[in-house]
Structures are given as structure tokens and as C-alpha cells.
Amino acid sequence: MKKYIFILFVVIILGVVYGTNRVRINAELGFAEAQYTLGAMYRDGVGIPEDKAEAVKWFRLAAAKGHAEAQTNLGIMYYIGEGVTQDKTEAVKWYRLAAEQGFAWAQFNLGAALSRGDGVTQDKKEAVKWYRLAAEQGEARAQHSLGALFSKGDGVTQDKKEAVKWYRLAAEQGFADSQFFLGWSFFSGEGVSQDKKEAVKWYRLAAEQGFTEAQLRFGWLFYSGEGVTQDKKEAVKWYRLAAEQGNADGQDFLGFAFKYGEGVTQDHKEAVKWFRLAAEQGLAMSQMNLGFAFKYGEGVTQDSKEAVKWFRLAAEQGNSQAQLNLGISFYIGDGVTQDKKEAVKWYRLAAEQGDVYAQINLGRSLEIGDGVAQNKTEAAKWYRLAAEQGNAQAQMNLGGLLFNGDGVPQDKAEAVKWNRLAAEQGLSKAQFRLGSLLFNGDGVAQDKKEALKWFRLAAEQGFAEAQFILGWSFYDGDGVAQDKAEAVKWYRLAAEQELAQAQLSLGIMYLFGDSVLVDIKQAILLLKKAADKGIGDAYYYLGYIYEVGESIDKNLRIAKIYYYNAIEYNCSSSEICEDAKKRLKALE
């Protein structure tokens, strides 16, 4: 058996050698077809050693005799500079000679050169002429290019239907680019009735040929469930295929999938791997994502300096999220020397692109003059832009400026409007502010019941001031049926958050046994906490406890100190201050 295989091998080799010699003889005799064939053999290293210069020599001899394929191949050699000094003008000359003979490949190449202005003055109309001649002969690349020109209206009147016609002809020949664009046409309904199932068919055909844009698009369809049953695992499969071909968008999508566990087991290290590959190709979104990974130590050792490096690369490409995060890094000095002016610069760049959080940060910097000259009018402008995008924090901040007439004409009704919008989104501080406006009838008709509704919503989110006001309302029965037990509940919650007024109120209730059992120790504890925060009334009641000596040892010296501090720290009412003065005088 081995003997027969060897004999077969020898026969093949002899056949190649004989064939090569025959081609060479005919070429040397001046036969154009043989000259062209010999040129191709030298170009590709078939039967003889590869020699590009020798290929050019034989192509030129055949081309001079009018051989269209030789003219086209000689043009290509000049175009790419193989075997000859690159000369695109010379390339176009040979393309034209072959094209004028009706050779479709040359017609396409000439059309492409004219379309790009490559070796010839750019002329899109002339390009259309040659593309059409080649396309009508079934040249798929020309059909695709003609479709693209009709789609854009480039060198020809825009005609999406005509574009679809040419894309389809090329797509039916298996041309992946056209299959992708035909899929896009069916998906978007441009030039053809929208048909997402048909779009899926063409995307799949292109994707299966390894066309990365189609793989990405096909992956997105499975991710979103548009035109197909949603299947994130299938989406990851197609993203991976694009990513493994080095496509940066595919790498970024794959990184995203691993970061969030979308269609694949969550794996931050794997996410970082793919983000890095795309980031190193200059993809801004991946640079930003890699920055986040270093900032928070997800899948990589936490490194704020490295985070800043990647944020900056993305920011310099105009990525607004990276600009925002670079601004934050400069503002707090994380991974970089603190520089609030630099922070404001990056906030502004992101804000001008419509980034809501950058608009808020820029507005805040301008409002308080932090890293930039104070300008409340400018602050109001940025708050408004963010507020109009529905951001609750910006809505509340804008409401505050309008209420006080800071940087804008005072307009309390407008302030109420913006606070309400923020409150309806669940922002507890805005709920508290809206409650206060309704309770006092400031910029809106007074409505204490409505006010208490908003106070309760804020209080239930743990907003201490709202808990205190709600407790006070239940204690006094103002806007709600009096319920001192409920008052105690809300005072306690606010006091636990170290709100001085709540500590004072609850301390007084423990002192006098008001709806709770008398507990002097608890009263002293709460009143001291309030006094430490500068609440004059707390000093007054502490003085009273030590003067009277109820449940504790009387200590007039300490009582005098507390009364004195009550006067110094300003009591909440003239009556309490006057009583503190009288008691202090009586003790002297």
C-alpha cells in the first residue's frame, strides 16, 4: 500500500513539474493566457517558489496584450505594492483598461478607487457607474457597494428600496456584509416592510460566516428577546464568537455578561479579562468599566491610581461616565491629588453631554463655590437640566433655590412643584420639605393632613427630622388625632439617630412621666445628649433635675451650671429663659 501511495505522489509531482514547464514554455512564446497563469503561479507560489517581482513581470506582459485578468492583477500589485513600488494611480490605470473590456472584478476595483478617491480624483457618480456594471454581472462586492451608496444617497439619489434590492442579490450569493445589512433593513423596516423574523434569518447567515457585526447584533437580539425568544446564554455564545475574533465591542459585552452574571455564571475576574482586552484596543466603555473594577476591587486588587488611569483614557475620548468618575476622583482625592478645580472641569464636560449626576455635581459646586467661583444662577441652570431629566435630587435642589430666590427669582409655587416631583420619587428629604411647605402653607394652600402624609413617608424611610415632626404632631394633636404613645414611638426613632430636638422632647416625657413611666436616669441621658449639641432647654431641665433632686442626689452647684448654660445657649422661649434666670438667682 505504501508503495502505491509513493508512486501516486511521484506522479503528482511530475505532473506539476510538467505542467509548470509547459506553462513557462507557452509564456515565453508570448501566449497571454500562459503569461497570466505563470504570473499567478509566481504570485501564489504554486508549483514554483513565490516571487512577487517575477509575478509582476508576467502579469505586465499579458496585460500589454490586453488580457483583462492580468491587467486587473497587475493593478492590484501596484495598489498594494507587492513586487513593485506602490503606485495607486498606476493601479487605477490598469483597472480601467480591464474594466473597459467588461471585466467585473476590475469594474468593482475601479468603482472602489473612485468612491474613495484612491489613486484618482474622488467621483462618487462615476463610482456608481462602474459598480452598477459589475453588479449587473453578478459581482457580489459591487452589488453590496451599490446597495450601500443607494442607502446613504452617496453619488446617487437616496433610495432605500433600491439599496435592499442590491443587498439581497449579494446576500443570496452568501456575501456576509450584505446579509448583515439586509437583516438590518428588515429589522428597521428601511426600504422593506419590517419583518424581524426575516431579519433574524439574515443576521444568522452572516453571523455563521464569522461576520463580527452580525454576531454582535445576533447576540443583542437574544439578549433583548427581539425577534427571537430571549436567551441570554445564546447571546453570550455570539458575543464570545465576536470577542474571540478580537472585536472590542464583543469583548466589552462579554465582560458585562460576566460582571453581572447575565447568561453566564458571574465571574469578576473573567469580566476584567475581557474589559482589559477591549480597553487596550481603545474602547472607551471598556476603559471605564475597567476603571470601575480597579476602583472597587472587583475581580482585581483594588487600585485607585489604576482606576484613575483608565477613567482618564475613557474621559479623554468623551465618555461622560468616565468624565464624571474622574471628576469625583479629583474631588475627593482618590487615586490622584485632590484638585476640585480639575473635578469641576470634568464634571462640566460630562454635564454638557447630558450626564445627570455630573449636572448635579456641577450645580452643587457652583452653588457653594467649591472648586469654582460661586454662581447660584449657573447652579440653577444645571439643576434644572438634571431635574427635567427626572432626577429627584436635582428637582429638590432646584426647588430649594426657587424657594429662597437664590440665583433665580423667588417662586415658592414653582419650588413646591419641584419638591413634589422629587417627593413622589421617594426622596425622603424632598418628602420632608414638601410636608413642611404644606404644614405651613408656604407656596401652597395649607393642608396639615397632606403634610403629615409626606412626613410619615419620609419618617418611614428613617428621615430623623420627619420622625421628630411626626412625633410632635401626634403629641400636640396638630393635623392628626392626639396620640402620645405614637409620639413616643417617633421621638424615640429620631432620638436614636441623635436628633437633639427628639432627645430633648423624649427626655422631658421621661422626666415627668408623660405617657411613659418616669425614668430620671433615661431623662438625664437623653437631656445630656441634647445639651451636648447646644440645646438650651436641655440644660434648663437638667438644672431642674439637680435642683429638685428627684430620684437622684440634689446638687445645687451642678444645677447652677446647667441653668447658666441654658441662658448662654438661648432657651427656646422667653418663659424658660426667665425661669432659668430666677432659679439661678435664687440659688446664689
Q: Where are the domains of the chain?
A: 23-137, 354-461
Res 278 pLDDT > 50: yes
87 CB-near residues (< 8 Å, 6+ apart) = 78, 81, 119
Confidence of residue 16 (pLDDT cuts 50, 70, 90): very low
Q: Is residue 2 predicted with pLDDT exceeding 90?
A: no
Average of per-residue pLDDT across 260-288: 98
Give the pLDDT of residue 570. 79
pLDDT of residue 574: 85
DSSP reduced 3-state for 583: helix
The overall average pLDDT reported for the chain is 94
23-137 and 354-461 share one fold:
yes
Instruction: Indicate if the pLDDT at residue 360 is higher than 90.
Output: yes
pLDDT of residue 571: 80
What is the percent of the chain with per-residue pLDDT over 70, rounded to a whole number? 97
Q: Which fold has domain 23-137?
A: 1.25.40
**Range with lowest mean pLDDT among 356-360, 442-446, 572-576:** 572-576
What is the Cα–Cα distance from 460 to 453, expressed in whole angstroms? Answer: 11
Q: And the C-alpha cell for 99?
A: 474594466
Q: How far apart are CA 9 and CA 16, in angstroms?
A: 11
Whether pTM exceeds 0.85: no
Query: Is the pLDDT confidence value at 569 over 90?
Result: no
**Residue reference for cell 445657649:** 569
pLDDT band at residue 154 under the 50/70/90 scheme: very high
Q: Architecture of domain 354-461 in CATH? A: Alpha Horseshoe (1.25)
Q: Angle at the Cα of 323 (from 321 to 326), degrees rounded to 5?
A: 110
**pLDDT tops 90 at residue 19:** no
For cell 482606576, name the residue. 307
pLDDT of residue 52: 97
Q: pLDDT per residue over 66-96, tens digit each? A: 999 999 999 999 999 999 999 999 999 999 9
Closest of 358, 418, 353, 405 to residue 377, by C-alpha: 405
Q: Is the pLDDT of residue 18 over 60?
A: no
- Measured distance between the N- and C-terminal CA atoms of the chain, rounded to whole angstroms: 128
Model confidence at 15: pLDDT above 60 = no
Summarised one tens digit per residue, pLDDT across range 414-425 is 999 999 999 999
CA atoms lying within 13 Å on the CB side of residue 9: 6
**What DSSP line would sit under 7-46, residue for residue?**
HHHHHHHHHHHHHHHHHHHHHHTT-HHHHHHHHHHHHHTS
Residues in the chain: 588
Which positions ≥6 away from 424 have C-beta within 8 Å? none
Is residue 356's pLDDT more than 90? Answer: yes
User: In the structure, what pLDDT confidence band is assigned to residue 573 with cuts at 50, 70 and 90?
Assistant: confident
**Closest among 540, 481, 475, 486 to 511, alpha carbons compared:** 540
> According to the model, what pLDDT value does residue 11 have?
35
- pLDDT of residue 362 exceeding 90: yes
Contacts of 202 (CB under 8 A, 6+ apart): 171, 179, 180, 182, 183, 186
| Block residue for cell numbers 445564546 | 234
Kindly state the cell numbers that stand for 218.
Answer: 445576533
For the residues 7-29, what does the mean pLDDT come to?
Answer: 63
